[in-house]
Amino acid sequence: MTTSEKNENNLAKETLSYSFHNSRWGQVLIASSPKGICFVSFAEDTESAREKLQSHFPKAFLNEKNDPAHQNALDIIDGKLSDASKIKLDIVGSEFQKTVWDALLQIPYGNTSTYSEIANRIGRPKAVRAVGNAIGRNNIAVLIPCHRIVRSTGKLSGYRWGVDLKKKILEQECKEG
């Protein structure tokens, strides 16, 4: 996947396309800017998911419209497309967050890593807590694989959409990987 250089102010008045899809993990909202996928979230209901998207991009105009990039993202989520290089991401975050998220993209499918391993990988071994915070701020579920992070003990913890879903995704990736 490729990422664009952008910060929160760049999306202030941009139009974002979004659509809802049924994935193998449940309903998902996928949103994109003209530069790429900028938001992926599992959705228990459409209204609260749309509100989360709007709160993340408060000044953006939201247009419910299926974009071809949404289908490619869904195919990655559903394991139907393995070549993620066709997906362009439009990541919004601080430079530190982007560095952490880029490190997450390096974790091979079907594998896991720990917070401290990511901190070491980015050259900030003492920034384990900051790495955890950056991972928690990831708004592009599955495509930026924050679900592949486990505690140093190997135990699962902390996933915005629930540890049970995280476990299911990791088990499936292990079978397919």
Catalytic residues: 146
Between CA 145 and CA 87 the distance in angstroms is: 14
With vertex at residue 176, the alpha carbon angle to CA 49 and CA 119, rounded to the nearest 5 degrees, is: 65
Q: Give start and end residues of each alpha helix (H) in 78-136.
A: 95-105, 115-121, 128-136
Q: Tell me, what amino acid is at 170?
A: L
Longest dimension (CA), the chain: 44
Cα separation, 38 vs 72, whole angstroms: 13
- Comparing CA positions, the residue from 62, 60, 18 lying closest to residue 43 is 18
